[in-house]
A = this chain, B = another copy of it.
Amino acid sequence: MNISNKTALVVSAHSADFVWRAGGAIAKHVKEGWKVKIVCLSFGERGESAKLWRQPNMELGKVKEVRKAEAQQAADILGGEVEFWDIGDYPMRVNDEIMFRMVDLYRTLQPSFVLSHSVKDPYNFDHPLAMHLTLEARVTAQAEGHNPGQKILGAPPVFAFEPHQTEQCEWQPNTFLDITDVWDIKRRAIECMQGQEHLWHYYTRVAQQRGVQAKRNIGITATRNIEYAEGFMRLTPSVVESL
């Protein structure tokens, strides 16, 4: 509960992505005393709010409002600090202003690790763009000549969280995080997403499948039980003191 000087950054293209894909990681690190900052680049207001749009007299501002409230509630449950950048979705576009805003955030936050989307996703162009932004801003934040005098960024590892159809996205989970002890928190955060109830079940099953796989990867002889897990694809090498 008290490694409180550590921080992490989660970059979510749409306002629900961080819940489905990284809710366990957020809750777990918060529980350990970390500060976890979540950036929602958009509300998913155009492309991931189908149920809202089917309501009568719906319009964009209202969709955003509802989506924001849901995401805020989920973030509160997980214990993360969320920011809404409202840059639009389907299609998402990132300009240099947004990029430098992310650089500033890196510099201020000095995260120990970073989470965002898969590098490829043929079903969703906003997702890889969010990761591209995450990576390019990270490199820029390392540049001594950017805002000289500021503390530059180190080299926090970057992980891609799980996309919807993993195999089509060339995404491979090389890291499983055991989230069994925070599963109930993640599930409660998931249930904030009123408009996407069909995904509650989908991502609950994802967590169960990854749990089985994580268990298999520690060996059936291990005494540790793993019921729920999140899979991540670590993009950057790890540097270790023992194997």
> B-contacting residues of A (Cβ < 8 Å)?
8, 25, 28-29, 32, 45-47, 49-50, 53-54, 58, 60, 63, 89-91, 93, 96, 99, 113, 115, 122-125, 135-136, 139-140, 142-146, 148, 151-157, 159, 164-168, 171-178, 198, 201-202, 205-206, 208-209, 212-214, 216-222, 226, 229, 231-232, 234-243
Q: In the assembled complex, how far is the CB of residue A127 from the closest CB belonging to chain B, in whole angstroms?
A: 11
* Chain B residues whose C-beta falls within 8 Å of the C-beta of A63 in the assembled complex: 145
Assembly CA distance A220 to B139 (angstroms): 12
* Chain B residues whose C-beta falls within 8 Å of the C-beta of A216 in the assembled complex: 123, 155, 164-165
Apart from A123-B139, A176-B239, list 14 A-B contacts with CB within 8 A: A32-B242, A47-B140, A151-B221, A153-B219, A154-B219, A154-B222, A155-B216, A165-B216, A168-B172, A176-B237, A178-B239, A178-B240, A217-B238, A232-B243
* Chain B residues whose C-beta falls within 8 Å of the C-beta of A221 in the assembled complex: 151-154
Known: A171-B167, A221-B152. Contact between A239 and B214, CB under 8 A? yes
Cβ of A135 and Cβ of B154 under 8 Å apart? no
* Chain B residues whose C-beta falls within 8 Å of the C-beta of A50 in the assembled complex: 144, 220
- Which of A25, A58, A243 is most buried by chain B, counting CB atoms within 10 A of its CB? A243
Cβ of B145 and Cβ of A47 under 8 Å apart? yes
- Quick one: closest B residue to A145, CB to CB? B46
Q: In the assembled complex, how far is the CB of residue A17 from the closest CB belonging to chain B, in whole angstroms?
A: 15
Instruction: Please pick, from B58, B168, B177, B206, the residue contacting A148 in the complex, using a CB distance under 8 A.
Output: B58
- Quick one: closest B residue to A45, CB to CB? B145
Q: In the assembled complex, how far is the CB of residue A66 from the closest CB belonging to chain B, in whole angstroms?
A: 12
Q: In the assembled complex, how far is the CB of residue A10 from the closest CB belonging to chain B, in whole angstroms?
A: 11
Instruction: Please pick, from B54, B174, B212, the residue contacting A144 in the complex, using a CB distance under 8 A.
Output: B54
- Quick one: closest B residue to A179, CB to CB? B241
Q: In the assembled complex, how far is the CB of residue A141 from the closest CB belonging to chain B, in whole angstroms?
A: 9
Cβ of B217 and Cβ of A91 under 8 Å apart? no
- Quick one: closest B residue to A112, CB to CB? B243
Cβ of A237 and Cβ of B217 under 8 Å apart? yes
Cβ of B217 and Cβ of A145 under 8 Å apart? no
- Quick one: closest B residue to A8, CB to CB? B243
* Chain B residues whose C-beta falls within 8 Å of the C-beta of A93 in the assembled complex: 96
Known: A46-B144, A154-B218, A167-B166. Contact between A241 and B122, CB under 8 A? no
* Chain B residues whose C-beta falls within 8 Å of the C-beta of A58 in the assembled complex: 148
